[in-house]
Amino acid sequence: GREIPQRVKDAVWLRDGEACSFEGPDGVRCGSQDFLEFDHVVPWAVGGRSDDAGNVRLLCRAHNQQEARRVFGDETVEAAARPRIKASPAPA
């Protein structure tokens, strides 16, 4: 499933040093410790595994969003971020 097991989260947290693991083209690591999120290297939506620490990394929110836009495109990311409004029944 999509849920990352706690054992994988623990391993990734330690491996990535409690910091964003994103590296820019110049090889410099972000290293931010703010707004960290677990990210699938190969996205879950295209078959990436959640139970393998080798496919999970820590990214700050900004780099997680950047990677999502790179992989899925701006339109897809923006559509996923829009609030889902449920139609309510018309008043009687």
- pTM of the model as a whole: 0.79
Q: Are 61 and 77 in contact (CB under 8 A)?
A: no
Distance CA 34, CA 18 (A): 10
Q: Tens of pLDDT along the chain (92 residues)?
A: 789 999 999 999 999 999 999 999 999 999 999 999 999 999 998 899 999 999 999 999 999 999 989 987 878 878 777 776 565 566 66
What pLDDT, on a 0 to 100 scale, did the predictor assign at position 81? 77
DSSP 16-29: TTTS---B-TTS-B
Question: How confident is the model at residue 79, as a pLDDT?
Answer: 79
Asked if residues 59 and 37 have their Cβ atoms less than 8 Å apart, the reply is: yes
